[in-house]
Amino acid sequence: MNKKIALTGIKPTGLPHIGNYFGMYKPALELAKDYDTRYFIADYHGLNSIKDPKIIKELTYEVAATWLAMGLNPEKSILYKQSAVCGTFELTILLMAFTSKGLMNRAHAYKAKVAENTEASRDPDDGVNMGLFTYPALMAADILQFDSDVIPVGQDQKQHLEMTIDIAQIINHNYGKELLKIPAALIRESTGSVIGLDGRKMSKSYNNTIPLFLPEKKLRKLLMKIVTNSQTVDEPKDPDKCNIFALYKLFADIQQQAEMRKKYLAGGMGWGNAKQELFEIMNETITPIRSKYENLIKNKDYIDEVLREGAEKAKEIVSRKLSFLREELGLQ
Ligand code: ADP
Ligand code: TRP
């Protein structure tokens, strides 16, 4: 029997962080056991904001090296760069004919930009390019081109997935058959929205991230910046209202969590100590991945080869889907 298909991607717009790790990379790679998996680097999406060729290229290598360091096996899964599969672009154009402008108007990222402009008394569309405006249509093509079943993502991508489903349903309805597979988002309750240093959702756009592969000393220094309240060392503390504990829980097993919880409630543990404990457990988890990453990032030829082979495999699948669709839509 054919396996189900899982797919996800990430933009090369900054250093991969702890939120990406728990919200997306880890759950996505766990699916490789039971699913046919396709992972990609969304460089077309990245181009909407990154216009420096050196930077986007370097970030693309960094994201690819992150996938591989975390255990992506290129023999089993497809890893490719979005821009290397030109069929995705062709499918985007097909989808555009069924994508209402009103749907795009409602996309969170676009709306946030308009709100920011309005707040600052600028033209509402100031700095909005068509790449940003039509972002959900390209994302729908990424997903629908493979007949994907499951899309592991963080909570912030929920709306994009709903839009993909909307677009696919409009097309299926118009032609009276399932031309496009309806995908499902896979968002984990416990890790779908990891908090950042300031307690808000961790995001490159909030500048509150904990990058995954910081050298040890820098990681420790950064963790010391986690925002806490002004309770003294002696006071008992509430773990469930603490940014440090929220992060600690992600790395700790049940027993470690219970022990840490006790220390909070007993009093006598200062924030500095709690941060040190977080550093230790985080560093222990990350160290083996970090050292793989450091080796991989030095080996760009290997990454190029993996991406080239991945793109070949992806192109073949996508071109079959496109031929089918062109025929069904009356373009061929
Ligand atoms: P950012 O918001 O930092 O720009 P991306 O948009 O590149 O992150 O996100 C890549 C993937 O990681 C997406 O699936 C996204 O939902 C997930 N993700 C990003 N931030 C978090 C977070 N704080 N918690 C859980 N998942 C996250
Ligand atoms: N929009 C996703 C993000 O910002 C990246 C992405 C692009 C994606 N295309 C996708 C994720 C398709 C899952 C499936 O993180």
pLDDT exceeds 90 at position 205: no
Q: How many angstroms separate the CA atoms of 6 and 126, rounded?
A: 36
Band of pLDDT at residue 150, cut at 50, 70 and 90: very high
pLDDT digits (tens, 9 = 90+) for 22-81: 999 999 999 999 999 999 999 999 999 999 999 999 999 999 999 999 999 999 999 999
How far is ligand 1, taken at its centre, from the CA of residue 233, in Å? 34
Band of pLDDT at residue 83, cut at 50, 70 and 90: very high
Q: Is 165 in the pocket of ligand 2 (CB under 6 A)?
A: no
pLDDT exceeds 80 at position 15: yes
> Which has the closest alpha carbon to 244: 215, 206, 210, 287?
210
pTM of the model: 0.96
Q: Is 11 in the pocket of ligand 2 (CB under 6 A)?
A: yes
pLDDT of 332 reads 87
pLDDT digits (tens, 9 = 90+) for 266-309: 999 999 999 999 999 999 999 999 999 999 999 999 999 999 99
Four-CA torsion 265, 271, 274, 275, nearest 10 degrees: 160
Distances (CA, A) of 111 to 116, 132, 162: 9, 10, 16
Q: How many angstroms separate the CA atoms of 238 and 61, rounded?
A: 41
pLDDT exceeds 80 at position 1: no
Q: Is 19 in the pocket of ligand 1 (CB under 6 A)?
A: yes
Question: Looking at this protein, which amino acid is placed at residue 283?
Answer: N
DSSP 193: S
β-pairing verdict for 36-41 and 184-186: unpaired
pLDDT of 30 reads 98
Q: What rounded mean pLDDT belongs to the chain?
A: 97
Burial environment of residue 316 by CB neighbours within 10 A (0 to 12, 13 to 18, 19 or more): exposed
pLDDT exceeds 90 at position 128: yes
Pocket test of ligand 1: the residue of 203, 210, 249 to mutate, having most ligand atoms within 8 Å of its CB, is 203
pLDDT of 118 reads 97
Burial environment of residue 41 by CB neighbours within 10 A (0 to 12, 13 to 18, 19 or more): buried
DSSP 4: P
Ligand nearest to the CA of 160: 2
Count of C-beta atoms within a 10 Å radius of residue 97: 9
> Which has the closest alpha carbon to 196: 224, 226, 219?
226
Count of C-beta atoms within a 10 Å radius of residue 179: 16
> Which has the closest alpha carbon to 79: 57, 54, 92, 60?
60
